[in-house]
Structure 1
Amino acid sequence: MKKILFLLMLSCVLSAQKTQTIPLKQSIKDKKKTAKSLTVLDLRADKTIGAITHNKELYDIKFENDSIAHLVEKWFLEDNKTLGYKDIVLVIKKLKAYDEITGKTRTAKINLEFASFLKKNDKYYFVERTQKILSSSLHPNSEIHKLTAYKIGVAMSKIITDSYEHVEEKLPLEFSDLNNYEEVFKKQNVAIQAPTLVDGIYETYETFSKQVPNAELKLKKNKKGEVTSFRDDEDYKVSSSKIYAYVEDGIPYKVTAVGFMEMMRDGRGFYIISSKEELFPKNNNSAIIVGAAFGGIGGAVAGIIINSAMAKKRKAEGENLYNVYLDTFTGDFVFDK
């Protein structure tokens, strides 16, 4: 009897749950008219997206008729009347919406991972990836369920439009590898696989992952041995905003707006111990001033090196720090919180 009552109550709750559809309203027009097709592969094990609370009611976040592939492909054709020659494949690996409760604060979260590939001669060439957790505070008067659905549409439109800019064919995969593309690419990433890293200065993540530093660049230090600037072969300053990372004595350091942070690695890849708030402070006037002196606005703070021991000590002392990974493909920060 209790089981029957529970099932009836559960049925009432599910039937009372409302639905919020994801609007696909943004433009995904290929201005260069190079895209021929857009195919969606939904590789999620769990096809449900999740629910968000608004005014004490749950709203199930969904694509219309739950047909993500059909809707996105239709969206592409509606926005692109003149077709080109590129066959683009959009892979959906993660897409979850949920409420996160911390104390008395409720936050709407979206955990997503999209990747795009160029299909050519039965090979799939990596183009772009977005992997992030989006969040929005739940204010009583805000229609947070609609905002959550809207953000999903925006994230999807961005990776599609970014994918049109693909220029070179790299990291080819077989169709059977698409569901496990990250592990396949890790094996091709020299920096992740190398037991010892090559000393030098790396202007891009791509050169860092291939372990090919710029031989024309060098570090400039003061009497204390602190890095004060980057220099070219004619001893001119190079803006730190143009430097991705450097390696000294086999130890890699990520150039950030708040200093040089030692990069560590584990089975997932490279990471630094920091936080989104630290790396992107709301009030960063002091960082801008020091950075300007170092080689341009957005440059790293000269001389400040945060090594792994210092970072772990700060974390142990209660600072709100965590492992911020560097995306295996793009080198961008991945914030898991």
Structure 2
Amino acid sequence: MKQIFILLLFSVKLMAQEKETINLSKSIKNDKNSIKTFTVIDQRPNKDIGSVMYHKDQVNVVFENNAEKDITDWFYKNNPVRGNDNFVLLLENIEITEDKKEKSSIGKLNLRASTFIKKDDGYHFVYRIDTVATVSSRTTPYLAQSLAKKTTLIFTDLFKSSYKLKPWEYSISENDLPNYTSLLKDKLDILKTETLKDGVYKDYYSFFTHNPEPGFIIETNTKGIVTKAVNGEKKEPIRNFYAFVHNGIPFKVIPVGYVEIFRDDQGLFIEVKKEELFPESNSSFIMIGGGIAGLIGSVAANVAIAAIDAGAAKKRRAMAGTEVSLDPFTGHYILPENFGKTK
């Protein structure tokens, strides 16, 4: 009888290993206490998340009950005080897959979710997460556990980022939520207008909605390089802005300077090198005054840099640039696969 009991316990333990529950335990408290109601809309056609292997066992990553109930309970547990806003989370994709290599495996999490404020005229977009997270069995054999933790962390970041932002002025109906991306992009003036307004744009929303900061005038140095924006006695280095338009040409501020923004039928993009978006501390790119290294991304770029440092200009010309899209819903870079990797 004792042997049978031990075997039963062992069987139960094996069964438990076949499931990894997403533990929604991080704090997602809204310090503003601005939210009255919270709703989860799960529009995923397949509610299964996916699985990875642990030795010879398949481990499914799951919610304890389901996404709607668990995330709703998590939110209200952290936010017992009510405000006035009706907060909505739209789940678009949660998918876990495994890429098996010869001697290891890579677990991959694809997660896309968006937040809205529901008002009388419809749903107003706030923010979204559209990301891929990976973990290697070379780092940990517990791929399912690591991916479940990453799921919680990504949702936590989505909530906390959303609390800081104002909802967009454009509204869409509940029936149109599955198509919100294309509907909202169609309303963004920066993607349609032929003549851009000169000036500085403090964040991605003001840029994509084409609303420069009032009263600011762009200033250049003696070499024609934009260094600051001035509004009366107030002077701001250009690095403090998301983007600017100078003489009708849009530029994106990046760590080593700024780069021209281009437009095609897919949206906005820049041509940039990995070393410019993610410069190392020993980078030879120069920072001028307010933090600018030239009109990177155009013929004038190399001229401007060469006037200051011929070595930096030569180094930039020797490295191939890559098209990197700008996400109108987050302002983030959409990096192509293998960005910055040499063949």
Describe the SS at the equivalent of 1:98.
Answer: strand
Describe the SS at the equivalent of 2:159.
Answer: helix
Describe the SS at the equivalent of 2:27.
Answer: coil
Larger radius of gyration: 2
Q: Tell me what 1:189 maps to.
A: 188
Q: Determine if the alignment matches structure 1 residue 42 to structure 2 residue 33.
A: no
Q: Tell me what 2:306 maps to.
A: none
Q: Determine if the alignment matches structure 1 residue 294 to structure 2 residue 289.
A: yes
Q: Is the 8 A contact 2:116 2:167 kept in 1?
A: no
Q: State how far apart, in whole Å, the 2-side matches of 1:118 and 1:251 are.
A: 34
Q: Is the 8 A contact 2:190 2:210 kept in 1?
A: yes
One-letter amino acid of the counterpart of residue 254, structure 2:
T
Higher relative contact order (CA 8 A, sep 6+): 1
One-letter amino acid of the counterpart of residue 253, structure 1:
F
Post-superposition Cα deviations, 1:123-157, rounded to whole Å, max 9, x if no partner, equal 21222222222233332544232111111111112
Q: 1:81 to 1:202 in 2, by over 3 A?
A: closer
Among all aligned residue pairs of Structure 1 and Structure 2, give the percentage whose two residues are the same amino acid: 31
Alignment of 1:41-60 (within 5 A): 41-55=41-55, 58-60=58-60
Count of residues in correspondence between the two structures = 309
One-letter amino acid of the counterpart of residue 36, structure 1:
K
Q: Determine if the alignment matches structure 1 residue 121 to structure 2 residue 120.
A: yes
Q: State how far apart, in whole Å, the 1-side matches of 2:140 and 2:156 are.
A: 27
Unpaired stretches in structure 1, ≥5 consecutive residues? 1-14
Q: 1:80 to 1:258 in 2, by over 3 A?
A: same
Describe the SS at the equivalent of 1:170.
Answer: coil
Q: State how far apart, in whole Å, the 1-side matches of 2:157 and 2:204 are.
A: 21
Q: 1:48 to 1:251 in 2, by over 3 A?
A: farther
Q: 1:272 to 1:98 in 2, by over 3 A?
A: farther
Q: 1:132 to 1:277 in 2, by over 3 A?
A: farther
Q: 1:222 to 1:318 in 2, by over 3 A?
A: closer
Q: Give the drift of 1:103.
A: 8.6
Q: Tell me what 2:129 maps to.
A: 130
Q: State how far apart, in whole Å, the 1-side matches of 2:55 and 2:129 are.
A: 31
Q: 1:335 to 1:169 in 2, by over 3 A?
A: closer
Describe the SS at the equivalent of 2:239.
Answer: helix
One-letter amino acid of the counterpart of residue 150, structure 2:
K
Post-superposition Cα deviations, 1:169-207, rounded to whole Å, max 9, x if no partner, equal 622111111111111111110001123433333232223
- Structure 1 residue aligned with 2:242, among 241, 244, 261? 244
Q: State how far apart, in whole Å, the 2-side matches of 1:83 and 1:162 are.
A: 19
Q: Tell me what 2:308 maps to.
A: none
Q: Tell me what 2:277 maps to.
A: 279
Q: Tell me what 1:28 maps to.
A: 28
Q: 1:155 to 1:144 in 2, by over 3 A?
A: same
Q: 1:276 to 1:208 in 2, by over 3 A?
A: same
Q: 1:167 to 1:279 in 2, by over 3 A?
A: closer
Q: Determine if the alignment matches structure 1 residue 305 to structure 2 residue 274.
A: no
Q: Give the drift of 1:304.
A: 4.9
Q: 1:258 to 1:52 in 2, by over 3 A?
A: farther
Q: State how far apart, in whole Å, the 1-side matches of 2:195 and 2:67 are.
A: 44
Q: Tell me what 2:266 maps to.
A: 268
